[in-house]
Amino acid sequence: MIPERSSHRELMGLALAEARAALATGDVPIGALILGPDGNVLATGRNEREAHGDPTAHAEVIAIRAAADALRASGNDDGWRLEDCTLVVTLEPCAMCAGAIVLSRIPKVIFGAWDEKAGAVGSVFDILREPRLNHWVEVYPGVREEECAKLLTDFFRAKR
């Protein structure tokens, strides 16, 4: 069961809670969650680049890895294929994360704020809907956009 549009705002609230948790480690406040095939939260992630010194520790990648682990632990031999899952993330995914979304076969992405500098879901690139790739993704942008953007703006303003 993939959630209907009316629940997108509620789901983004869960992703925002993950984003706020990233502040404890000085990471950029981006949060993500993956809903499993049953519509329940399967995995969560938040930026952990600063926490682990890992440039690939973006919220989406953390959540994708955790979701694949959870599916495998439940006996799904194709756990890396997140074919019936939904990703919710507070910021438009970058090129690395968009590639991971395509390769993990996630069919639906809901995101909050646009990323005019590095976004790969319509701002700078549109990897998730690139017709030459083997998998395309349904995208719902701008969910609680102002709230997601403000969290990031406040974070970077405090850094300056």
Band the pLDDT of 75: cuts 50, 70, 90: confident
Instruction: Please state, in angstroms and rounded to a whole number, the distance separating the CA atoms of residues 141 and 158.
Output: 26
Neighbouring C-alpha atoms within 13 Å toward the C-beta of 21: 14
Closest CA to 91 of 39, 126, 43, 143: 143
Catalytic one of 60, 83, 92, 116: 60
**Does residue 97 have a known ligand-binding role?**
yes
User: Tens of pLDDT along 119-153?
Assistant: 999 999 999 999 999 888 999 999 999 999 999 99
- Total-model pTM: 0.94
> Can you give the pLDDT at residue 4?
52
Each residue of 26-59: pLDDT tens digit? 999 999 999 999 999 999 999 999 999 999 999 9
Mean per-residue pLDDT for 73-102?
A: 93
> What rounded mean pLDDT belongs to the chain?
93
Please check if 94 is assigned to a binding site: yes
| Residue 60 a catalytic site member | yes
What is the pLDDT at residue 134? 87
Cα–Cα distance for residue pair 12/14, rounded to 1 Å: 5
